[in-house]
């Protein structure tokens, strides 16, 4: 039995190599997440994260700028030709952290894919009630000063016209 190999060890090694090769060929890392801002109504908006081509089924994680996890409003996972497409949405309000991070993490070991967006404060204009009240008060004051000034100007002009007429006679 010189030169004979142990069939158990070589077969196990060969099956392990084939398993790893097949598993690597089947796993799909998916696309980079695409972020879409929509559904804006002045007080809140929806931000949607979309990624396609994952296997196995991925997990979607939303985080803010301080890396705190956020709950997603809607999460849809669909299967297309054996690969998973994932879509997840969160609601952003004026009190939310302006930085949103969407991370797609595979179920099996592998790199997660991340996209981030910074929501501008201009989407949520800040109108303080005291500022509105001050603006209205100042507008009324200007009107109250302007109207008597116009009246006095007209009276003075009428007096000048009448005095010019009497001096010409």
pLDDT digits (tens, 9 = 90+) for 54-93: 988 899 999 999 999 999 887 888 888 889 999 999 999 8
DSSP 5: -
Q: Where does residue 48 rank: exposed (0-12), middle (13-18), buried (19+ CB within 10 A)?
A: buried
Between CA 72 and CA 61 the distance in angstroms is: 8
pLDDT in tens, 92-134: 988 889 999 999 998 888 889 999 999 887 776 666 677 788 8
User: Given the structure tokens 């004979």, which residue do they identify?
Assistant: 4
Between CA 125 and CA 113 the distance in angstroms is: 32
State the Cα torsion 32-34-87-82 to the nearest 10°: -40
Please state the rounded mean pLDDT for residues 44-50: 92
Predicted model pTM = 0.59
Between CA 11 and CA 19 the distance in angstroms is: 12
Between CA 82 and CA 108 the distance in angstroms is: 16
Between CA 98 and CA 115 the distance in angstroms is: 14
């Amino acid at each position: 039995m010189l030169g004979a190999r142990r069939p158990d060890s070589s077969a196990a090694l060969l099956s392990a190599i084939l398993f790893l090769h097949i598993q690597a060929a089947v796993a799909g890392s998916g696309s980079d997440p695409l972020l879409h801002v929509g559904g804006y109504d002045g007080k809140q908006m929806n931000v949607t994260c979309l990624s396609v081509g994952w296997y196995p089924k991925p997990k979607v994680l939303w985080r803010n700028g301080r890396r705190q996890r956020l709950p997603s409003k809607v999460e849809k996972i669909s299967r297309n030709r054996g690969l998973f497409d994932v879509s997840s949405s969160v609601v952003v309000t004026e009190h939310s952290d302006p930085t949103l991070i969407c991370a797609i993490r595979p179920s099996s070991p592998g790199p997660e894919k991340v996209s981030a967006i910074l929501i501008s404060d201009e989407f949520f204009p800040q109108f303080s009630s005291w500022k509105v009240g001050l603006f209205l008060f100042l507008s009324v004051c200007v009107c109250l000063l302007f109207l008597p000034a116009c009246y006095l100007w007209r009276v003075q002009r009428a007096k000048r016209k009448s005095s010019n007429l009497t001096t010409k006679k």
